[in-house]
Amino acid sequence: MARKKATPEKKLTDINEPQLPAVPQLITDTIRDNYMPYVMTVIVSRAIPEIDGFKPSQRKLLYTMYKMGLLTGNRTKSTNIVGQTMKLHPHGDASIYETMVRLTKGNDALLHPFIDSKGCFGKQYSHDMAYAAARYTEAKLDHICTELFSGIDKDAVDMVPNYDNTMLEPVLFPTTFPNVLVSPNSGIAVGMASSVCSFNLAEICDATTALLKNPKATTDKLLDIMPAPDFSGGAELVYDREQMKQIYETGRGSIKLRSVWEYNKKDNCIEILEIPYSTNIEAIIKKLTELYKAGKLKEVSDFRDEIDLNGFKLTLDLKRGTDPEALMARLFKQTPLMSAFDCNFNVLIDGSPKLLGVADILKEWIRFRLNCFCRECRFDLKKKQDKLHLLQGLGMILLDIDSCIAIVRGTEKESQVVPNLMKEFGIDEIQAEYIAEIKLRHLNREYILERIKEIENLQKEIAELNELLADELKQKSAIASQLAAIKKKYGKPRKTKLIGAEEVVEVSEVAVEENYNVRIVLTREGYFKKITMRSLQGNDVHTLKEGDEIVFERDCENISEILFVTNARQVYNAKVSDFSQVKASSLGEFVNATLKMDAGEKPICAVLTSEIKPDSNFIFIFENGKGVRIPLSAYETKSTRRRLTGAYSAASPIVAAIFEDTTKDILIEATDGKAILVSSKLIPEKATRSAGGVQVMTLKKGQTVSSALIAADKSAAAGGVRKIKIPASGAALTKGDRQKLLGNVE
């Protein structure tokens, strides 16, 4: 037995063997060679619509349906359509079906849907309303697709091989109307994006006709014909002609859309029936929920989605006495019930992205359509010329039919029939081949005379086609006639109503805040309570944190504004409505958290803005015994600010901030137990907030001011602590006298 020859083991590369050094490559070369092809693919073959108004995925889907014969006949299952489309678009069934959903009548995304659908295809105005699986739905092409494919079988557009070279597909559709501005489209490519809104088909046809007649028509002329976009969801468009003119000229701009609503007096509710195309019901409900939880939607008792077979409806149940006009004016400002559509008319022209205005897009479409129209005419011309050529050959044998029959019968070989006919009658090969294929029963005078009668009509039609191809004005006239027919057949009234900017009511926040009487309380530790008067009737005993005390208490309204001075040299401007209602028995809201103060910051003084007078002041007392009086005018700002920094001097830690609207007696106490009682008039006024003040209380070494409080009872005996000039040294104050001076503060 022969011994098997051992095969040598493959030699493994030694890991210690030196490797060849990497060849350095410029980053610009890497981007050009690797990244740029991807960029161009996304721009040209995916995200940006072309002059026919379609992206490649949409075009491949519709062409597949056309080739399936779905322009006529019954609907077929969507899975069948998706599967067939993968012959042109191998990007997965899910993405193809999503493309299909948007083009359907059931989705309501287009003014003129291209697919007649049956089943659930979701809704454009809802992200959560899912479409049914493709195996449950059916579809066919809508009648308007006739205008997309008109001339596609007459060489109107170029055809290219699909990805595996097994079939041909059109580069563009020879649309007979400017679909690029009728069907909305948006897409994000690399470094650029496109967002094209929809316009009314009838208005677009009229505007295009105007440009066909006068290519130099002004933007104002176009605005007179088609004043603004038209959206499938309806709604109201806040119309500004100058702003719209800029969009028409530049292709960029923003369109403000507002929901359409009705007040149902019987049920005391607002019914929102149409919303802007740029939003959805989930976004609106989310914002309404946020406002409701924040206590800023107290006029509404409930809101719900009532979308049904009749269409869109969002219902808001109102509380008694609510003004629906005022509420909706506020909701337009605070929610997506009013939102903007950002226009960016980026369109592929001859394979290159271009940002164009409305007139320029229509002119590019006219150029494109003229080319398609001429290609159709040349196709028809060639067909008629070929037919005329055959009929002229048939006419040559009319005078001698017997000779023709004799030649066919007498020729021994079939291959010689055509040459013999050519020789006998002086016709070319094509004509001879045609005659040779005529059935014997048709080789009679009656049949031939009947056929050659068409020659005169064909010659007339050929002359007309040649004349049409030579005259661009006639071509434009023919296109205008097509547009007029399309308008008559498919035109619809506008869905989006135009309203003037003056109809948009601006409502201030204060004007619509729910207002009622409350009592507000601030404690030394920074807890704030807003208590309704009704709640106080049940229990007015305050619960406080151990060691805490009330330093500010007022009766006011919910819409009142309040200023907080903090220990961090800051002043906060807030509204009483910013705080939640609580009971007296609760600790209240921590002001630091509600107003988002810095860590360790707390209020040391509060004042209602309604109590401020022209000569009101803030009095600041510092640990070093100094004090200063600063007019509130020093805190005025050009704009409303939530927080103001640098409220007072940083030279010494603050002890107290006191609001002075009238002259007050202030009890200042030091750490050694001594005190002085001085009138606020003695403390000098300074114009700047950074002023350190003057010495008010003379302190011994190592002593500081511990507190500064307003004396509530001016008639109480002050003993030796009353001072009539400053600086002043402190004197002993008994506990009883202190309690009398401070009244109910302690």
What is the set of active-site residues?
136
**Cα distance between residue 648 and residue 635, in whole Å:** 10
Give the 3-state DSSP-derived string for 99-156, with helices as H, strands as E and coil as C: HHHHCECCCCCCCCCCEEEECCCCECCECCCCCCCCCCCEEEECHHHHHHHCCHHHCC
CB-based contact 652:692 (threshold 8 Å)? yes
SS3 591: helix
CB-based contact 552:565 (threshold 8 Å)? no
Q: Which two tokens stand for residue 371?
A: 């080319």
**Cα distance between residue 40 and residue 346, in whole Å:** 15
CB-based contact 458:465 (threshold 8 Å)? no
- DSSP string of 635-677, one letter each residue: G--SS--SEEE--S--SS-EEEEEEESS--EEEEEETTSEEEE
**Pick from 259, 291, 272, 311: nearest CA to 129:** 311
Tell how strand 694-695 and strand 550-557 pair up.
Answer: unpaired
**Cα distance between residue 473 and residue 496, in whole Å:** 35
**Cα distance between residue 327 and residue 297, in whole Å:** 9
CB-based contact 114:142 (threshold 8 Å)? yes
Residue 438 DSSP symbol: S
CB-based contact 149:159 (threshold 8 Å)? no
List all residues 6 or more positions away from 315 whose beta carbon is below 8 Å from its beta carbon: 269, 270, 271, 272, 303, 304, 306
**Cα distance between residue 570 and residue 560, in whole Å:** 20
Tell how strand 352-355 and strand 346-349 pair up.
Answer: antiparallel
- DSSP string of 686-725, one letter each residue: -SSTT---EE-EE--TT--EEEEEE-S-TTS--GGGB-SS
**Pick from 726, 691, 696, 536: nearest CA to 621:** 696
- The C-alpha torsion from 681 through 683 and 689 to 692, rounded to 10°, is 180
Distances (CA, A) of 409 to 396, 405, 423, 432, 439: 19, 6, 16, 15, 13
Residue with tokens 């903090």: 566
CB-based contact 542:559 (threshold 8 Å)? no
List all residues 6 or more positions away from 101 whose beta carbon is below 8 Å from its beta carbon: 107, 121, 122, 131
Distances (CA, A) of 68 to 74, 143, 394: 11, 15, 38
- Start-to-end CA distance of the chain, whole Å, equals 118
**Pick from 509, 615, 511, 617: nearest CA to 563:** 617
CB-based contact 566:596 (threshold 8 Å)? no
Angle, helices 78-85 vs 56-67, to 10°: value is 110
List all residues 6 or more positions away from 662 whose beta carbon is below 8 Å from its beta carbon: none
**Cα distance between residue 63 and residue 85, in whole Å:** 8
**Cα distance between residue 568 and residue 592, in whole Å:** 12
**Pick from 232, 231, 229: nearest CA to 243:** 229
CB-based contact 710:665 (threshold 8 Å)? yes
